[in-house]
Amino acid sequence: MLIIAMLLPMVAMAEEVLVGATDTAAYMPLLEGRRVALLVNHTAMYSAEEHVVDMLHREGVNIVGIFAPEHGFRGAVEAGYDVSDDVDAKTGIPILSLYNGNTKRPSDAAMRSFDVLIVDMQDVGLRFYTYYISMLRMIDACADFARDVIILDRPNPNGHYVDGPILDMRYKSGVGHIPVPVVHGLTMGEIALMAMGEGWTRSANVTVVRCRNYDHQTHYTLPVAPSPNLASQHSIYLYPSLCLFEGTVVSVGRGTDAPFEIYGHPDMEAREFSFVPQSVAAASKPPHMGVRCYGEDLRGKSDEEIWREGVNLHYVIDAYRDLAMGDEFFKPMFEKLVGVAWVREMIKEGCTAEQIRERWAEDVEKYKILRRKYLIYNE
C-alpha cells in the first residue's frame, strides 16, 4: 500500500522549498506509541540548526536504532570505505551500518526491533549514487517483515532532466541497482514508488511525505554537502559526467580542493592546468597521490552550460584519445558506472560523444514515459 502525505499548500510570501521533514503534521501521528528506526545520514536536517534525529529525540519519539548508509550517519566516511556499527554520542541511540562490506540488509533481530522506518537522505539523482540503493534494500526488508516505511522526501538537484544509458542488469552492482538512466530525474520518494511499482523491489507499506513548493524545474541548492567529495553545487552538476572517470585511470580531483570539478593524469603533459592529489580527510589514498596530474579545470563552466550538455562523454573521450592506452585506460568499474558494455566499445571505435548519445536517446524517451507514472511533483 502506498500513501502520499501532504497538507494543502501553504500561502507564503516567498516560495521557499520545504523538505518533507518539516511537515511534521503529516508524519508525527504515525509514530505515536511505536518503535521507530531511521535510515538517515548527516543531510537529514529538520532545520538549519537541528538534525531530524535530534528533533524526534527531543519530542520523545521512541527511536530504537539508526541505520547508516555509505559515508556513515554523520557523513564523514570516505567513498567506498566500510562504515562501522556505533552509538550516537549525542543521543545514545545504536547505529547499525548498512555499508560494511557484508551487510546488505539488517539481521532478522534488527528488523523485529522496530515497527516503522523513517528514511531521510539527500540524494543527487544519479543511478550510481548509493543512498537510494540502501533505501530500496531496506524497503525490501520491511516488506518481508511487514514494517511500515515513511520517506521524508527531499528535492533532486539534478531532477530537471533525464539522460544517459539505462542500466543493463548484467552490470547490477553496489553502484547500480535498477534499470534507470544515469540521471533518472526522480526524488527518493519517487524512485521508491517506481521500484515497487515495476517489481524491482518488494512492495512495503510506504508513506511519502512530500516536499512543498517544489517541482522538477526547481534548481534546488543543497544546504549540506551530500558526501565528502561533493563539496559544491557545481560539482553535483558535473558529477553525472565526471564520475565516469572513476572507472578509468584518470584522476577526478580526489585529494584536491575541487573533486569532481577537474580531471587529469600524469601523462597528459601537454595541458596547461595541473594539480597534485594529496591525502586529505575526504580521500586518504586518492589516485595518483603525490604525483602531478595534467588536465582540465571545469570550475569556470557555467551551471547553465552543464545543464544543457547533460551527461557529457566528451571529457572521457578527450582523456582516452590523449593517453592512447586502449583498453588499459578503462577499469571494470567503468561498465558498472555507465551501465552498458557498448559505450566503451564506441569510444574505442572513435565515435563522438554526440554519436554515443544518439544510441541511448530512444531508450531515454521510453523511460520518460514510464517515469511519468511515478512522479509526485510537476515536471
State the pTM of this model: 0.92
* DSSP code at position 341: S
pLDDT in tens, 200-242: 999 999 999 999 999 999 999 999 999 999 999 999 999 999 9
CA distance 33 to 31: 6
Instruction: Tell whether 121 is covered by a domain.
Output: yes
Instruction: Tell whether 123 is covered by a domain.
Output: yes
Query: What pLDDT score was predicted for residue 68?
Result: 83
Query: What pLDDT score was predicted for residue 148?
Result: 98
Q: Which three cell numbers stand for residue 111?
A: 528488523
Instruction: Tell whether 378 is covered by a domain.
Output: no
Which residue, 224, 255, 271, sits at the end of a domain?
224
**Statement to judge: residues 282 and 218 lie in one domain:** no
pLDDT in tens, 27-71: 999 999 999 999 999 999 999 999 999 999 999 999 999 998 776
**Statement to judge: residues 117 and 168 lie in one domain:** yes
Instruction: Tell whether 4 is covered by a domain.
Output: no
**Statement to judge: residues 69 and 41 lie in one domain:** yes
Helix ranges restricted to H, 98-187:
108-112, 131-144
Query: What pLDDT score was predicted for residue 10?
Result: 38
Q: How confident is the model at residue 9 (pLDDT cuts 50, 70, 90)?
A: very low
**Statement to judge: residues 59 and 174 lie in one domain:** yes
Instruction: Tell whether 72 is covered by a domain.
Output: yes
CA distance 192 to 201: 9
- What's the domain range around 186? 21-224
**Statement to judge: residues 58 and 195 lie in one domain:** yes
Instruction: Tell whether 376 is covered by a domain.
Output: no
Lowest-confidence pick of 95-99, 248-252, 339-343, 367-371: 95-99
How many helices (H) and strands (E) the chain has is answered by 11, 13
Q: How confident is the model at residue 89 (pLDDT cuts 50, 70, 90)?
A: confident
Query: What angle do helix axes 314-323 and 233-242 make, rounded to 10 degrees?
Result: 60
**Statement to judge: residues 184 and 292 lie in one domain:** no
Q: What percent of the chain has pLDDT over 90?
A: 85
**Buried/exposed 24-52: b ≥16 CB within 10 Å, e otherwise:** bebbeebbeeebbbbbbbbbbbbeeeebb
CA distance 181 to 364: 7
Query: What pLDDT score was predicted for residue 13?
Result: 40
User: Nearest Cα to 242, choosing from 264, 265, 268, 260?
Assistant: 260
**Statement to judge: residues 206 and 243 lie in one domain:** no
User: Nearest Cα to 313, choosing from 269, 273, 346, 271?
Assistant: 346
CB 79, CB 72: distance < 8 Å: no
**Statement to judge: residues 114 and 169 lie in one domain:** yes
Query: What pLDDT score was predicted for residue 146?
Result: 98
Instruction: Tell whether 282 is covered by a domain.
Output: yes
Give the CATH number, domain containing residue 330.
3.90.1150
pLDDT in tens, 172-207: 999 999 999 999 999 999 999 999 999 999 999 999
CA distance 66 to 96: 6
Query: What pLDDT score was predicted for residue 40?
Result: 95
Which residue, 224, 256, 288, sits at the end of a domain?
224
User: Nearest Cα to 119, choosing from 28, 209, 59, 214?
Assistant: 209
CA distance 280 to 5: 42
**Statement to judge: residues 218 and 250 lie in one domain:** no
Which residue, 182, 202, 224, sits at the end of a domain?
224
CA distance 106 to 56: 22
**Statement to judge: residues 202 and 69 lie in one domain:** yes
Domain count, the chain: 2
User: Nearest Cα to 186, choosing from 121, 146, 132, 242?
Assistant: 132
**Statement to judge: residues 38 and 137 lie in one domain:** yes
Facing residues of 283 across strands?
A: 280
CA distance 376 to 186: 9
Question: Distance between the two ends of the chain, CA-based, in angstroms?
Answer: 24
What are the residues whose beta carbons fall under 8 Å from the beta carbon of 24, sequence distance 6 or more? none
A 10 A CB-CB count for 7 gives 11
Query: What pLDDT score was predicted for residue 2?
Result: 60
Helix ranges restricted to H, 214-327:
233-242, 303-309, 314-323
Instruction: Tell whether 150 is covered by a domain.
Output: yes
User: Nearest Cα to 219, choosing from 232, 237, 241?
Assistant: 237
**Statement to judge: residues 268 and 337 lie in one domain:** yes
Give the CATH number, domain containing residue 79.
3.40.50.12170
Facing residues of 248 across strands?
A: 330
CB 117, CB 147: distance < 8 Å: yes
Q: Which three cell numbers stand for residue 114?
A: 522496530
